[in-house]
Structure 1
Amino acid sequence: MGDYDKVVKEIITLSRIRELEHQTEKQVSAMPITYAIEIDYLYKKGIAAGLQEGFSQGVEKRARQVAVLLLQSASLSLE
């Protein structure tokens, strides 16, 4: 049983004290289930992988630019 289910069960149990379980169940059913994706392990892992890939592509692009500039300064071509 997840945390959400556990908390809902506890709230309904407590609402029975005041005979409000019907209204409580209605309210709980109407609530959207939200999840903070930013704290998820797999999300963080994906972001880290994306950043690493972007960094690698940036390094590769810059290395090409430097190579072209060096060849141009030596009056050579890429062929």
Structure 2
Amino acid sequence: MTNAIIRNRHIVFISEGGSETSTTRAQLEKDTAELVHRIETKIKSESQLAIARETLALYGRALELAKANGL
């Protein structure tokens, strides 16, 4: 499971293996909108839809964390 933290005014996603990916709130909002568009228009298989939903849930939690931390 990937977790999200706030570090140096960035949202940092940390995978189970320890790798980190950093992004800004603005970029995450853009990525979220793109993912929603893909879910609505392109994703057809149940497995892809399940992955997209998990990713969308993670993005939502990260955005809430960003808002709570004043980003």
Q: TM (normalized to structure 1)?
A: 0.33
Relative CO higher for 1 or 2, CA cutoff 8 Å, sep ≥ 6? 2
Q: TM (normalized to structure 2)?
A: 0.37
Q: Greater helix share, 1 or 2?
A: 1
Structure with larger Rg: 1
Q: Greater strand share, 1 or 2?
A: 2
